[in-house]
Structure 1
């Protein structure tokens, strides 16, 4: 999904003038950096950011755009780097809008300082960003991503950096020399980057294949390591006093550690060289310490069990992170394309150009986005919009890649390339959302950063002080300290949140709902009010003739006259009248549109007009009786149009925008969740009140311009608290940006709507909103269940390790069990079936 980009000021340059494009010895001018801060949307948060960066030398100016959640910084490169760090430390997530520095040629770079520091470089660029893509098989959690980021900090002239943990890939935009230095830095951190083709579908495919290959190649090796460790344990138990058995134990344990622990040692000691403590550091130190004090079988068992647990955990996490990738397989690889001579030829969908015509037979999946150019059919759009009932398609109607043509053969004129289809944008939107950390995840990461060193210090204290304060030998103290290191591994804690959040994002995407990050997923549970736009959100957005009656003259003749006049007009109200009348239209001549009033023409030799209340007044044909009739209709929210002759009013037509069948149920569900719905519309107050009453909404505000809707949202936030705004994502953009959560309705195939909001409902079913709130609340519950499980198990084993007889392999089992428990608990969010659990009352329809 593309985001609007803003290229930093051209004043940005290399600090030392060492990049090839900058020349040597250049002065250091000020740089400009525009950031999007997704969780900055009110003056209080602006003030917090100002306080966070106050006093930074070299920071020239700050420009805030709260509705767009953007901040533009100007200053020296070092000041920008420090400012981004301080903003992150304050609990915000700044991300540049542009994946590359600018259009400079940075093909040569001698490695000296470049102007844009790594902390200020993009972390989540648009998915078509340029750069080399590398797969890092051992990178599967946020802490390892952080390790790689820190390793790349000293590398200069990196223009863009993007991580996809689900695919275990990193995209690096940099000149050739800087790229080589970056890869060497990643290897120095204990990871092995492997080049991939591109960040698109080919890369995904190769990534998938690599993952299966890794499982097949690693599992036998780890099973051999486990068998060797188990045999060493048996020898230690059965032949404790035999020198030969001890020598064999040592050899078996050494081989077991070699087979299972190479990756852990590589990453662990790389972290130690960088003076950091990580999960791998704890396990490396624990296994090494056990081996050195003669606990060879336990050292081997610790490392083998840990490696197997990591493998199982990685596959479980992949299931969550790659759940949405299954959608990509929905779009067929090939398409039947019409040739210049009218024949049809099969071609790869990725090679089909815009405006070419493809043919889809009944039962086939549609390969590309487009518009029907011939034929009619019913199309199952569930993969994109979540609709459970097929939608009828005729010439001119839009269709989406991955949906299923069910009944008739159709021809489709392609409107988007395969890489930019609605389905592809959905997938990449969710991938980007996966990289956005939720508030709970940020809390856990900060906690783990303190927790890991604290456990290490506790283990040292036990090893050094216990012989002095307790009746333990030095070997007992050291062993217990090593057990503490093993059970203190924060893996279960660190992984508990991302798996849960990603599972929830994928579950929502399968229902046609895109939630752009964990922040909005968690915030949805706190909503107290939701402001709803009327047209297209609560109502159908398509005027219909709901009532008409003759005032004088023959009813059939009046219907014929009105059909003739309405059929010549392009006004939506006239179209609704023409569509609602079954009578054949009369012959019309001298047709004339009356701006803001209606139309008039000669029909069957007589002069007639079709217009609004104002036109009736101007013609002097209004009466007290007619005024009362018009007032009754207007109070019901109807738009009234009248058929007039020179003699007087012949008929009255009432047109209204009807309530969607799903709206009433959605409003009831919102109320049951404690969320107050409020209707905001530009229509008159009478229409607003009528529609609100029909939908079950207690508060309605009418006659609102876009800026009035923004003010209304501000007022709701001030009176009630967290407020969402649901609209079409275009006309309601100011209010969507101001709301705590902006929800774009009916955004399938619409780039602008997908960009404008924090949550995108691909179809126009209002019932998706209470589903989102329920999912948010359930996700929050699972998050804290996982945190409690991870910390609870560790607390029990901490006590057993110090005061009981817990062994190292028992500690590994406890840590592995905690990790698998939290992963399985998080994956429950994926198993809700075709709909999010609890989203409707028993017996209610789920049809869209």
Structure 2
């Protein structure tokens, strides 16, 4: 048995994936990775301890309906050591939060319930065998169908004695229904009215009232429907498999002697050099160290055209190399690549529940017992009142029992949302849960940060003005470089690039001044400590450090659409930097599309009002609020949320509070900070704002499909409840309708996977 456990005492998940025996990890990351061809190989082999709990990820092939989920809850919730259960029903997965020593008991209990499971690494080690075993049951099922049809024909055309029809029916029931009876009995033992239990009661009841051919047809049609449903769901379960298949298992890696060796991708460390030939997939995230050409990153970021790359440019794992050989210095190991994060988020999203899904599950817990109780009343009350025979009303009650299972209703929501999340991932949009996919359709307002969101986030220094004669120009430039190089802010990076010839010494240890800039203490040429600030002009103005002439100079740069940063001491201004950040090519188009969708836009930026207004005019943003500190953005989002649902788009640390406060937070996944990406609910993988309106359209389309599924499922159920009460339907028609409704909602939900990008 493959058991994966992680003994970390952290409050977050680690993605450690393995394809071999039991592993135990202590402290930090293990550095082991897996990049197999099966989707589950990366996203499924995860278990971790969170706040003293262990997680065990199990694969339960029979888990594809809310009734099996309820049965498992009944059987495991009260088990000693089990603390929490997380279900991914469409994927047949269960995550058990439990004590370290209860896995064996959990597996044994699942087996007793007729729902055997395995630790996922073991169950996915032989996917081909699982496929063969699924097809292996088809001949037996076809034989059962033949026997059931023969029983119906013998009965209908009176081709023989009644016992002959009963004999063929019994053969059909035994061939197809033993598993259903076993699972149904286990469910009833736990007080759960599962579909297997209901079908078992209906078939047994039909036999007891002498309806042998119909009992056989009900059982075989039900099992056939389950088989078809499982095959249909398989396409949803493997929807992200194409993403995983993008990553090769082996990579050409340069060893210490400069020789190229083929090694498993999971063993490659950051800093090593890989060689990728034309037409090959890039194994890991990194930067081009030698060569130039183009790479196709469409499967990861959704970019429709290949991207030209040269030395120093970043590339992503899974991207397809174009026409030339590239050497790549690895920046992220296998479990930390952008693609691995997408897969991890998709898995986590599938475990989360959207509001509609929660509501439907609550409804189903009331619906099934209510219909079952109505069936009992139908079987007893009319005959007692003399409205018909016991046989007639018992038959109608059995039909109603078949209709009582809400599988189609419950499965309609997760399969649709899972398809939407997977489609978004293929578009280059990472969604952290079905809730956010559903909530995005409600958005009426969207606030956007400026730098790195609306603008390219790659500003260039336009002018460097020395303002003091106390220190040499070289000294001032070196200080500015030391401080700017310690920050990841785009403006700081632009200053670092502009001053790189003057750069020397270690990066400064800086303190963030919330929304204002950086503070540090460095030494001058005589070794004396100097308190320095790389800040916005407002900070210097508040301290009275700018002359009238210098303030006019700042205003002129603002009028030209430039941002301004100042290097100052406690006593004087040393350096004035003017920086221009151009608009992203797709920003204006994205804002226009958002307006067409009826969404109002607002720019929230810490930049100067005149610079912000100039950028907003170019982009088409209708409202601007400038000079915003992080708390100002948070307060503004909080206030606007009282008026209408609002989303926030940002990329920096200072955007994190506002991203968390918004109903849906969007982060720039490619150029954004890790804090922004972690805080946000949705990440745009290639930082193209045009993905925002596409995602909102996908959200609205997904909800329309979800509504269609609910109408289909509820409508078919209600229709057959009425027909059963009027005696206008039969048992086999009811089971055909139940299975057919499930297949319809699954097929309709899978349409979301084909939504045009």
TM-score in terms of structure 2 length: 0.80
8 Å contact 1:321–1:503 — kept in the other structure? Answer: no
1:336 maps to 2:228: no
Cross-structure match for 2:104: 180
Contact 1:422 1:749 in 2 (8 A): no
- Residue 376 of structure 1 deviates from its aligned partner by 2.4
Out of 95, 117, 121, the residue aligned to residue 193 of structure 1 is 117
One of 194, 206, 213 as aligned partner of 2:132: 213
**Which residue is 1:759 aligned to?**
682
Aligned to 2:747: 824
Give the structure 2 partner of residue 239 of structure 1.
158
**Cα 1:400–1:460 shift into 2, 3 Å:** same
How many pairs does the alignment contain?
670
Report what 1:304 is aligned to: 220
Task: Tell me if the contact between 2:637 and 2:646 (Cα under 8 Å) persists in the aligned partners.
Answer: yes
Match of residue 181, structure 2, among 265, 278, 293: 265
- Cα distance change of structure 1 residues 435 and 700 upon mapping to structure 2, 3 Å threshold: same
Q: Which residue of 1 aligns with 2:603?
A: 679
CA distance in 1, matches of 2:671, 2:139: 46
* Distance apart, 1:681 and its partner CA: 0.6
- The Cα of 1:128 is off from its aligned counterpart by 5.3
In 2, distance between residues paired with 1:520 and 1:170? Answer: 22
Alignment deviations for residues 141-187 of structure 1 (CA, whole Å, 9 cap, x no partner): 34423321321123212467554445424455666863332222212
1:464-486, Cα deviation, whole Å (9 max, x unpaired): 11224464211111111111111
Alpha-carbon distance in 1 for matches of 2:536, 2:557: 13
Choose the corresponding residue for 2:691, options 768, 783, 791.
768
Residues in 2 aligned to 1:143 and 1:671: alpha-carbon distance in whole angstroms:
44
1:489 counterpart = 2:405: yes
CA deviation map 1:783-833 (0-9, x unaligned): 111111111112222222222431111112211221111111111101124
1:364: how far off? 0.6
Does 2:625 align with 1:734?
no
In the alignment, which of 662, 665, 668 is matched to residue 589 of structure 2?
665
Question: How far has the Cα of 1:134 moved from its partner?
Answer: 3.8
Alignment of 1:160-171 (within 5 A): 163-171=87-95
Tell me which residue corresponds to 1:698: 622
SS in 2 for 1:148: helix
Contact 2:478 2:502 in 1 (8 A): no
SS at match of 2:137: helix
Given the alignment, which residue of 386, 408, 415 partners 1:499? 415
The equivalent of 2:73 in structure 1 is 149
Q: Is residue 2:377 matched to residue 1:461?
A: yes
Change (3 A) 1:415 1:620: closer
1:140 aligns to what? 64
Runs of 4+ displaced beyond 6 Å: 545-548, 565-569, 571-580, 585-588, 611-615, 617-621
1:717 partnered with 2:670: no
Cα deviation digits, residues 481-521 of structure 1 (max 9, x gap): 11111123211111111111111111101011111111111
Q: Which moved more, 1:229-238 or 1:632-641?
A: 632-641
Residue 737 (structure 2) pairs with residue 814 (structure 1): yes
Contact 2:396 2:727 in 1 (8 A): no
Helix, strand or coil at the partner of 1:755: helix
Aligned partner of 2:263 among 347, 353, 361: 347
Aligned to 1:796: 719
CA contact (8 A) 2:45 2:120 kept: no
- Quote the RMSD (CA, aligned, Å): 4.0
Residue number in structure 2 paired with 1:645:
none
**1:394-405 alignment runs, 5 A limit:** 394-405=310-321
Q: 1:133 to 1:566 in 2, by over 3 A?
A: closer
CA spacing shift, 1:749–1:314, aligned 2, 3 Å: farther
1:327 corresponding residue in structure 2: 243
Judge conservation of contact 2:287–2:313 (CA < 8 Å) in 1. yes
The structural deviation recorded for 1:204 is 4.1
Displacement after TM superposition at 1:361 (Å): 0.8
**C-alpha separation in 1, matches of 2:746 and 2:396:** 28
The corresponding residue for 2:345 is 429
CA shift for structure 1 position 289 = 0.8
Deviation at 1:325, TM superposition (A): 2.4
Query: Gaps spanning 5+ residues in structure 1: where?
Result: 9-33, 37-99, 104-123, 549-561, 589-594, 597-610, 643-651, 836-848
Higher relative contact order (CA 8 A, sep 6+): 2
Separation in 1 of the partners of 2:131 and 2:46? 28
Could you give the per-residue CA deviations for residues 294-338 of structure 1, whole angstroms, max 9, x where no partner exists? 111111111111111112112222212321122111101111122
Deviation at 1:729, TM superposition (A): 5.3
- How much has 1:738 moved relative to structure 2? 1.2
* SS of alignment partner, residue 542 of structure 1: coil
| Cα displacement (A) at 1:447 | 0.8
Give the direction of change, closer, same or farther, for the CA distance of 1:153–1:662 in structure 2 (3 Å limit): same
- Quote how far apart the aligned CAs of 1:422 are: 2.1
Partner of 2:291: 375
- 2:462 and 2:349 map into 1 onto residues whose CA distance is 44
Listed one character per residue, the Cα deviations across residues 179-216 of structure 1 (whole Å, up to 9, x for unaligned) are 33222221232212245536xxxx5453x435412321
1:440 aligns with 2:356: yes
CA distance in 2, matches of 1:367, 1:374: 16
Q: 2:580 aligns with which of 643, 651, 656?
A: 656
TM-superposed deviation, 1:285: 1.0
CA deviation after TM superposition for structure 1 residue 440, in Å: 0.7
